[in-house]
Amino acid sequence: MPDYRQTATIVHQAPLRNSRVGAFATLCVVTTPPQHHTPPSTPAEWDERYLSAPDRIWSGEPNGSLVDEISGLPPGRALDLGCGEGADAIWLARRGWQVTGIDMSQVALDRAAAAARGAGVDVEWVCGDFFGNPPGRDTYDLVTAHYLALPKAQADTTLAALLDAVAPGGTLLFVAHAVSDGDPAHTPGRDPAAYVQPDDVVAHLGQGWELIVHETRKRTSPAAAQSMHTHDVILRAARKD
């Protein structure tokens, strides 16, 4: 697989560049007040967003959908896309998973690494663009992605990389914010129709996949401060052996 550690070093030391705007982003919930109409999309913008909170942005607790869907799986190699400050990756590592967490914000990853040390677990933290440098086929027993902002115009390329990363017998967990009567809000400045949704992932699943869960569900973990999202769309699929 690609040398992500080398990629992380380059990204951290070189000036942050916006060479693939929108190709990969961490959690797309925006906790800034509604008057901020443009959510972060570049490494520099996400670093600035994290630096705006001296301690942390997120709760430090794993996403409820991850806990609900993955608790019963035997541990293996896991990839957490858009890992942010690391709560999901750390939760997996504490349960025996060998975890790689990828995010475009070095500030978030520094916080994630500190949290992992405090929890006494080892996680590989990678600052970079998964979709610009995918690991290849059959790499992970679990690929989990919560609230990624993937432009629908690039769906064929990004979803192919996402699905290819799951090993035979492995699991994909893809979670997005629901925009429905129960949760009418969406991220200011971001049109959900322009971004990949779980329905789009389902459309890319071939005969080699089993769809296990595809439903809208009320969040079981608290939303970030000032977020108006209350429901998620949960997609869990297993790649057949």
User: Residue range 121-134: average pLDDT?
Assistant: 90
Residue, of 131 and 203, whose pLDDT is higher? 203
> What local confidence, expressed as pLDDT, does residue 195 receive?
87
Confidence at 17, pLDDT banded by 50, 70, 90: very low
Of 22 and 69, more confident:
69
What percent of the chain stands above pLDDT 70?
A: 75
What is the average pLDDT value for the chain, to the nearest integer? 79
Q: How confident is the model at residue 21 (pLDDT cuts 50, 70, 90)?
A: very low
39 pLDDT band, cuts 50/70/90, is low
Confidence (pTM):
0.77
Rg (CA), the chain: 16
Sheet containing 124-127, strands listed edge to edge, beginning at the edge strand earlier in sequence: 124-127, 98-103, 77-81, 140-146, 166-177, 231-239, 209-218
Which pLDDT score is estimated for 45?
A: 84
3 state SS of 46: helix
Which SS3 state, helix, strand or coil, does residue 78 take? strand
Show the domains of the chain with their CATH numbers.
4-12+19-239 (3.40.50.150)
pLDDT for 200: 94
What whole-number distance in Å separates Cα of residue 21 and Cα of residue 219? Answer: 29
Please write the tens of the pLDDT for every residue from 53-97.
878 787 779 999 999 999 999 999 999 999 999 999 999 999 999
Confidence of residue 20 (pLDDT cuts 50, 70, 90): very low
Q: How far apart are CA 22 and CA 41, in angstroms?
A: 6
Higher local confidence (pLDDT), 210 or 26 = 210
> Residue 89's closest CA among 65, 68, 63?
63
- Distance from chain centroid for Cα 212: 20
pLDDT of residue 24: 36
More confident position, 231 or 188: 231
pLDDT surpassing 80 at residue 150: yes
pLDDT of residue 46: 78
Neighbouring C-alpha atoms within 13 Å toward the C-beta of 207? 0
Residue 111 has pLDDT above 80, yes or no: yes
Give 136 or 127, the one with higher predicted confidence. Answer: 127
Q: Given this model, what pLDDT does residue 63 score?
A: 93
Band of pLDDT at residue 109, cut at 50, 70 and 90: very high
pLDDT digits (tens, 9 = 90+) for 166-176: 999 999 999 99
